[in-house]
Amino acid sequence: MGANLLITPAAAAELGRQAAAAGTPGQMHLDLVSGSCEEHVIRLQPGPMGGQPIARADGITLHAPSSQAQALEGLCLDYRGDLSGGGFLVTARSGIRCCPCGSAFTRL
């Protein structure tokens, strides 16, 4: 694996559901785009999309561009859902600031 990214069981379940619904069972892609509240925002899409595998959990393989793997180190991808919807959340160890929105971060 290229990055030290953790995937919680809740995130793995939702990633697996989305991958299966899109016709790419077990394969999801994560890439970083510029954010407004922090430097990076995580974008998730079904399929490997030519990226390298960076994390595996509970039957799902998460791929990312090799050029972004280092920026993903130390992050944890979680999923929280409730009656009004749900979303992926990013948490991190020290040296990384996460936005309260939950999907953006900046390396310090």
Tokens standing for 26? 């077990």
Tens digits of per-residue pLDDT, 48-106? 998 899 999 999 999 999 999 889 998 999 999 888 889 999 998 788 999 888 889 99
pLDDT of residue 50: 87
Q: How far apart are CA 80 and CA 92, in angstroms?
A: 16
Domains of the chain, CATH where assigned: 6-107 (2.60.300.12)
Q: How far apart are CA 57 and CA 38, in angstroms?
A: 27
Question: Taking the CA of residue 67 as centre, how many other CA atoms within 13 Å lie in the half-sphere pointing to its CB?
Answer: 4
pTM here is: 0.90
pLDDT of residue 28: 97
Tokens standing for 27? 């394969």
